[in-house]
Structure 1
C-alpha cells in the first residue's frame, strides 16, 4: 500500500508550490534538493518504521520541483498591456466560449510589436457574421483584434485564469469585430492534420444527425462541443450528466472495455488460437491501441490524456498478469499524470475523476464476494446502482466546490443513463467507425441517436424537477486540501488511523459551513461593485461586466440574473455616482472623469472607488483603476474594529504567470475604526499607507 502514497506526497509538494505567494529563488530550490537527498540517505539508516516518512518528505520536495520545472518549461511571452491592431496567426483550435461566441486559437502569432514580446498563442472571440465554417486548422488568418493579458481572479480566492492560461500557452485573449481573412491556405503538420480530421468527422456526424443528438454524438466521438446549445448543456449540468460530454474516464473505459471484450470473445471462438496464444493479452494490446487512437482523435486534452493513462495502466496490469482494478493501478496512473502535468492537480477534472475511481475501487474491493449469493439478474442492476451512488458521492464535494451547485437527483439520472451509454451508445460509435470504410456508418449513428435521445430526455426531465439543484457558497482555500487528505486517510490508511480521516472530512465541512463572504466586492477595473444585503448581493450595474457579476453571484451560492441583482436594495445611484453603507462604513463609486472632478474630497465616504486615475490626495481609502490593475479585485470585510481589506494580489502573490504590473504596497490590509471627537462620537477610519 506504500505505493498508493506516492501521488499523495507528490500532490502535497505540488500544492505547496502553487500556494506560495513568492516564487522561490535558486537558493531555496538548492535547499529543497539537498534536503530531499539527505532524507533519502537517512531512510537507508533509520528503522523500517521511520523510513517511509523520510521517503515521503523526499517525494514532497520532488513534487514541488516537478511543478517548478513544468512552470519554467511552458514559459512564454505574455501581453502586458491592452493591444488594438493587426493580428496574424495559424489556426490551431476552434471552439466556443460560455457566451456561445466562436473562438479561434492562433499560434505563430505576428502583431505590431517586437517578436520577443509577442505571445506565442492568442485566443480571439469572433463577433459578427463571419465565414468561420470555411476556416480549417492550419489556415493562416489576419484580422484586427482587441487583445489584453489573461485576467486574474474575479475576486480574492477565485479561479485563477492567469495561471490556467500560462499552462495552456495563452499569452493574450480578446475579440475581433472586423472581417477575418485567410492570408494563406492550411499549413498542417501531424497534430493539425489530426485536428482537421476531428473537425471533418464532427461536421459529418452533425450532418447525418441534425439537432442536439448530432451535436451530442460529435462531442462524444471527437470532443468537439461547439454545436451543443447552452440549454442542453444546462440540462446536463443540473441533472449531473455533464460528465457524459467530456471524453474522460467513463468514455475511454467504456470504449476500451468494449473493444477488449469483443476481441477476446472473437479470438476465443477459435480453439486453435485460444489454446496457442494469450488471448487476454492480445485483447489488452488492441484496447490500448484503440484508446490511443481515440486520444488522438479527441484532441488530446488533459482530461482525455488522464483517462488514457488510467485505462492503459489497467491493461498493462493485465499484460503483467496482475489484477487490473486496484488502488495501486490508480496510484500509478495518478503519479504519471502529476509527473507530466503537475498543474492538473488543481483542476476539477483530475480531482473528480480520481476521486470517483479511487472510491469505486475501494468500495468494490470491500464488498467483493458479497454479491455471490444474489441471483445473476440482480447483480448487474445492483452494480450499476452502487457504482453510480459511490461515484456520485465521491465527486459531489469537489463538484460543489468548483461549480457551486449540488444535483439532488443525479443518482436517478445516472442510473437511467449510464447503462445505456455503455450498452448502446459507445458500442454504436465503434460500429459506426468500423462501417465507415463501407459507407454504412450511418447505421451505427442511427443506433447512437436512439440512445442519446433517451439520455437528453432524462437530462431535460430531471433538470425540471422541483428542487433538482441547490447552490452552495464557494469554500475557502483550506477546505479542499483538508477534505482530500481526510478522504485519502480513510481509504489508504491501514488501521485506526482511518478515524483521523473522518475527523478531517468533518472539519472540512465545518469550515465550509462557516465561510464568510465579503461584504463588498470591487472589480479590478473599478466598473462594478457588489454589496451583500438582506436579499443577497446587490450590483451597481444591470449590464456590463456580466462575467464578473456571474462569478460573484455563483460564489455567493445564489446565482441569479444580473438585472435582478442590480434591482436589489443596498446601493443608491445618482447619475454617475453610487453609494452604499455597510454598518459604519460608507463606500462611494464614481464612473467617468466628470463625476470624479465634481466630487469634493471623498463625499463623506470612507472608501472611494473610481474607474479613473485619482491624481490628487483624498481623505479616505482610494481604490482607483491604477491601483486595482496592480492589486486585482478587492474584497472588503466590515468587522467590529474596522475594515479588513483583501486583494487578489494578497492571495496569489507574485508568480511567473502574473508578474506584469506588480505593486504590492499600495493598499493596507486593515483600517481601524476610531470615534471622532464631538457630541455624536461618529466612528471614522484611521488610514495608513494610502492617499490622504
Structure 2
C-alpha cells in the first residue's frame, strides 16, 4: 500500500492553490476598485525614488528593465483581471518615473563648480532676497563673462555692504570665494547640492566688499519683496517676521529662537504657505463674493453665484501662489483648491483622496525632484491623513452636524480638531524623524489653539491692516495683529519648553523609511480589511527606529568637526567655537536633545594643543580615538606614537602612510571619497555620507592625486 500511486497529482494541487489565491486577490482588488486609481502617483513616485536612491546609470537601467519585465509578466495574466491591470500599469509608471527625473536632470540640471575658487565676478542680478534675521541678502547672479563659472551662482552679501542701487537687472562686480553647493555633511543630513542642481545654482559663496554697481537696476522690486518690506516696516515687534511669512512665505525675518520654538511645538507648518493659508484666502474671497452678489435681487435669482464666486476664488488663489514664489506646498494647495472649487461649482463632493492624488500627480510630473524633499512629503501626508480620517464612516458620523446645544457642539468640534491633529502628528512623525531626526509630540494640542488663532484672528487682522494701509489708517490693525502673533509665539515657546515636546532618533535608513511610507499609504488609501496589512511594515520600522543605537562618533565631510558620545550619555564636540548650525546638525544626527559639551573637558579625554585622545566604550571593549585639533605641524615621533596607540584617527588633512591606527584612519583623503561618517562602536559599523560609485550629476567626483612622499613632520 505504501508504494501505490497518489490519487491526486501534486501539480494539480499546486495549480488549484494558485487559482484559489488568484481568485482571492481578484476579490480583494474588486473591493478596492474605487481606490486603485490613488496608487498612480505612488507608482510614479517609486520610479522617481529609485533614481534618487540608486547610485549609478547601470542600476538605473537595471531598475527600468526590471519594471518593464514586471509589466511583461503582468501581460501573461488573464485578460480583464484587475491584477493584470495593476501590474502592467504599475510597472510602466515606475519605469516612467525613473526616466522622467533622469531626463529632467540631464536636460535642465546645472553641474556644480568643480572646485573652490577665488575670483572677481561680473554678473547680472537675477533676484535679491533680504534675510533680516541674519543681517544679509541672498543674491542670485548670472555671470556675464562666465570664465568657467556656472550659469547661475548665489552669494550672500552682508547688510552693511549692500549698495543702494542693487536690485533685479543690476550689473555688479565683486570678489568672492565660490564653492560648489554643499552636499550632506553627515550621513542622512540635508543635501543642498541636490536641491541646488535642480534649481540651476552651480556655486555659492560670500561676496566681499566693495560691491561695485556697474549698471543700476531700472526695474521696480517684485511685489513680493515690496510687500515683505512693507510688513516689516509697519508690523509690531518681533512678530513682524511672522506676519511677513504668513503673507509672503519668506521666513528670512524670523529670529532663530522663534523659528526653533515653532518647529519644536509642531507649529512650523503655519509659516510655510500651504493648504491653511490658501484655503483661508480662497474661502474668504468666495464668502465675500457670495454675500456681496446676494445683496442684488437680480443677481441672487438669475446669476450662477457659486460659479462666479468659485472663479473669483480661483483667481485669488492663483495670484497668491504667484505672489509667494510658487513653492511646492503652495502649488499643491492651489491645485487642490482649484479642483475643490470646480467640484463645488458643479455641485459635486470635491474633497476626496482622488483630489489629493491628482494634485500629487501634477506636482510629480512637473517637479519630480520634489519627492525627496520634506516639504512635499509632509504636506501631502498631512492632507491624506485628514481626508482619509474624514472619509471614515465612524468619524464622519461622529463629526456630522446635529441638533444639540452650544456646549456639546463646541466640545464635538474641539474633539474633531484634536483627533485630526493626532492623526496628522502620527503620520508626520516618521517623515520628521527621517529628515530632521526629531518629531513633535505635542503638536496636536498646540494646533488646537494655534490653527483657529491664525485662521480667524491673525490673518484677518493682517489683511485688514494691509487694506487700511492704502488710506494710511492701518496702525490700529497692525497693533491688533502684533498682539495676536505675540499670543501665538507665547504658545509656541511654552509648548517647546516642555521636556515631552520633541522625540529624537538617530539617522533612519532609507529602506526602513520607504517601507514605513508604503505601509502607511496602504493603511490610508485602502478601504477593505486588507489595508491593515500595511501595519506590519510600519510596526517593523518603528521597532528598528526604537532599537537602533545612536552612533558614538560623528565626523563631518571636511573632517573639521567631530562629536563623540560621552560615558554619561551626552555629546561633546571637538571645536568649542563651532557655530549653532554645526552643533544643531551634530545633535540631530546623533538623536541627542540638549547642548554639546567640549571634548577637551571630558574626563575620558586627554588633549594637547594639537591632538586629542579620547577613550570610548562600545561593543564590550575600550576604543581609543585620536583627533587633530589644529593645522600646526606635529613632530613625527609624537604622531607616530599616538597613531600606534589609537584605534581610530580622524584628521581634517592628509595623514602620512606611517600613521597606522589599529582600525580606521579617516583623513582628508578618505573623507573625500566617503563624505561624513557616523561610527557605531557597538556593532563596529561605519555609515558614510557618500555611496560608493555614486554618479548623480550633483556629486563631484574626487580627483586622484599622486601620494606625497613621507616626511618627518605632518
Q: After TM superposition, is the score higher than 0.5?
A: yes
| Distance in 2 between residues matched to 1:474 and 1:26, nearest whole Å | 25
- Aligned position for 1:575: 609
Q: Is the 8 A contact 1:76 1:171 kept in 2?
A: yes
In structure 2, relative to structure 1, the CA distance for the partners of 1:368 and 1:562 (3 Å cut) is: closer
What residue in structure 1 maps to residue 140 of structure 2?
106
Q: Once structures 1 and 2 are overlaid, which stretch shifts more, 620-629 or 323-332?
A: 620-629
Matched, 1:258 2:284: yes
Aligned match of 1:515: 548
1:68 aligns with 2:90: no
RMSD (Å) for aligned C-alpha atoms: 3.1
Q: Bigger shift: 495-504 or 553-562?
A: 553-562
Q: Following the alignment from structure 1 to structure 2, what is the Cα–Cα distance between the partners of residues 110 and 164?
A: 24
1:421 aligns with 2:454: yes
> What residue number does 1:600 align with?
640
Provide the C-alpha distance between the structure 1 equivalents of 2:131 and 2:163, rounded to a whole number of angstroms. 14
Matched, 1:83 2:113: no
> 1:148 Cα deviation (Å)?
1.3
Preserved CA contact (<8 Å) 1:546 1:562: no
Match of 2:505 in 1: 472
Alignment of 1:61-460 (within 5 A): 61-95=95-129, 100-110=134-144, 114=147, 117-127=148-158, 129-131=160-162, 135-186=166-217, 188=219, 196-366=222-392, 367-370=395-398, 371-373=400-402, 375=404, 377=406, 378=409, 379-435=412-468, 437-440=470-473, 442=475, 445-460=478-493
Secondary structure of the 1:105 match is strand
Give how far 1:569 is off.
Answer: 4.2
Q: Does 1:495 align with 2:534?
A: no
- Contact 1:156-1:635 at 8 Å conserved across structures: yes
Cα deviations by residue, 1:178-228 (Å, 9 ceiling, x for unpaired): 33332221254xxxx6x6221111212222224222222111111222222
- Give the CA deviation at 1:469: 3.5
Q: Distance in 2 between matches of 1:432 and 1:353?
A: 29
Aligned 1:481-630 pairs, distance under 5 A:
481-535=514-568, 536-544=570-578, 547-564=581-598, 567-582=601-616, 583-590=621-628, 591-592=630-631, 594-595=633-634, 597-598=636-637, 599-600=639-640, 602-620=643-661, 621-630=664-673
User: In structure 1, what is the Cα distance between the partners aligned to 2:210 and 2:538?
Assistant: 54
Change (3 A) 1:651 1:619: closer
CA pair 327-565 structure 1, distance change in 2 beyond 3 A? farther
Deviations 1:347-390 (A, max 9, x none): 11111111111111111122224333462631544443343333
TM-score computed with the length of structure 2 as normaliser: 0.84
Worse overlay, 94-103 or 529-538: 94-103
Relative to structure 1, the CA distance from residue 443 to residue 545 in structure 2 (aligned partners, 3 Å threshold; closer, same or farther) is closer
Distance 1:588 1:20, change over 3 A: same
Distance 1:144 1:385, change over 3 A: same
Distance 1:574 1:28, change over 3 A: same
1:515 is displaced (CA, Å) by 1.9
Maintained 8 Å contact 1:533/1:569 = no
Q: Deviation of residue 400 (structure 1)? A: 3.6
Write the distance in 2 (CA, Å) between the matches of 1:603 and 1:220: 58
Structure 1 CA distance, aligned partners of 2:423 and 2:165?
45
| 1:579/1:295 CA distance change after superposition, 3 Å | same
In the TM superposition, what is the alpha-carbon distance from 1:649 to its structure 2 partner? Answer: 2.1
Q: What SS does structure 2 have at the residue aligned with 1:622?
A: strand
The verdict on how the C-alpha distance between 1:214 and 1:235 changes in structure 2, with shifts beyond 3 A counting, is: same
Range that drifts further, 275-284 or 289-298: 275-284
CA separation in 2, counterparts of 1:248 and 1:40?
39
Q: TM-score, normalised by structure 1?
A: 0.86
Report the alpha carbon displacement of residue 628 of structure 1 after superposing the two structures with TM.
Answer: 1.6
2:554 alignment partner, SS class: strand
For these two proteins, the number of residue pairs brought into alignment is 655
Q: Deviations over 1:371-412 (max 9, x none)?
A: 334626315444433433333333233234333334343223
CA distance in 2, matches of 1:435, 1:335: 40
**Alignment partner of 2:677 out of 626, 634, 643:** 634
Q: Contact between 1:151 and 1:162, CA under 8 Å: does it hold in 2? A: yes
Secondary structure at the counterpart of residue 543 of structure 1? coil
1:570 Cα deviation (Å)? 4.2
Pair 456,636 (structure 1): closer, same or farther in 2 beyond 3 Å: closer
What is the CA–CA distance in structure 2 between the aligned matches of 1:405 and 1:23, rounded to whole Å? 33
The structure-2 alpha-carbon separation of the partners of 1:90 and 1:600, relative to structure 1 and needing over 3 Å to count, comes to same
Secondary structure of the 1:356 match is: helix
Distance 1:442 1:61, change over 3 A: farther
Local SS of the residue matching 2:634: helix
Residue 657 of structure 1: how far off its partner (Å)? 0.9
Task: Indicate conservation of the 8 Å contact 1:359/1:390, yes or no.
Answer: yes
Q: In the superposition, relative to structure 1, how do residues 608 and 406 fare at CA in structure 2: closer, same or farther (>3 Å)?
A: closer
Cα distance in structure 2, aligned partners of 1:528 and 1:99: 25
Aligned to 1:81, what secondary structure does the other structure show?
coil
Distance 1:33 1:393, change over 3 A: closer
Unaligned runs of 5+ in 2: 1-34, 708-714
Change in CA separation of 1:381 and 1:627 when aligned onto 2, cut-off 3 Å: closer
